[in-house]
Amino acid sequence: MSHFTQVKTKIRNIEVLKQALKNLGIAYTEAAEGTTLSIKGWEQETAQARISIETGCSYPIGVTLNDKGEAEFVADWWAIETWTERKQTDILAEFTRQYAYETVMDKVRSSGYDVVTEESDSEERVRVVVRKWT
């Protein structure tokens, strides 16, 4: 019986996702162009992915792109939760929050703004003040 589940997201920029993972301190491996990586599942089942994200156990999370260019995460979530005691929703929320932050910061920098201050609160909200000299 397969434990693999594919989760759709609105993540479209793989480069920003990789930066988010890096800033979270999460290791990943990317497949060479035109190839895929094997993602391990329960009882030797595998799935193919473009990126393999380490989870702290022997079951990684795979990233694929659907036909709309959106990232999908494929993993044996049951095994990951069993071995790491972290839920799928919590893991994906962490990825999504950091991806959103990286997306905003990328847009801020590419638009020529400088970050003046940045604050986080206990509810994981981020307040960023930017300025642009003309």
Tokens of 46: 């595998």
| Average pLDDT over all residues of the chain | 89
Radius of gyration of the chain (CA): 17
pLDDT of residue 52: 98
CB 28 within 8 A of CB 40: no
Above 70 in pLDDT, residue 105?
A: yes
**CA 33, 35, 39: angle at the middle one, nearest 5?**
125
In this prediction, residue 6 has a pLDDT band, given cuts at 50, 70 and 90, of: low
- As a whole number of angstroms, the distance between CA 2 and CA 11 comes to 25
**C-alpha 122: how far from chain center:** 22
Q: What is the pLDDT of residues 26-70, one digit of tens each?
A: 999 999 999 999 999 988 899 999 999 999 999 999 999 988 888
Q: How many other C-beta atoms lie within 10 A of the C-beta of residue 128?
A: 15
pLDDT of residue 77: 94
CB atoms within 10 A of CB 1: 5
- Return d(Cα 59, Cα 43) in angstroms, integer: 11
CA angle 28, 42, 13 (to 5 degrees): 30
Instruction: Report how far residue 53's alpha carbon sits from residue 69's, in angstroms, rounded to the nearest whole number.
Output: 19
Structure confidence at residue 133 (pLDDT): 78
pLDDT value, residue 1:
45
Average pLDDT (20-30) is 97
- Is the pLDDT assigned to residue 20 strictly greater than 90? yes
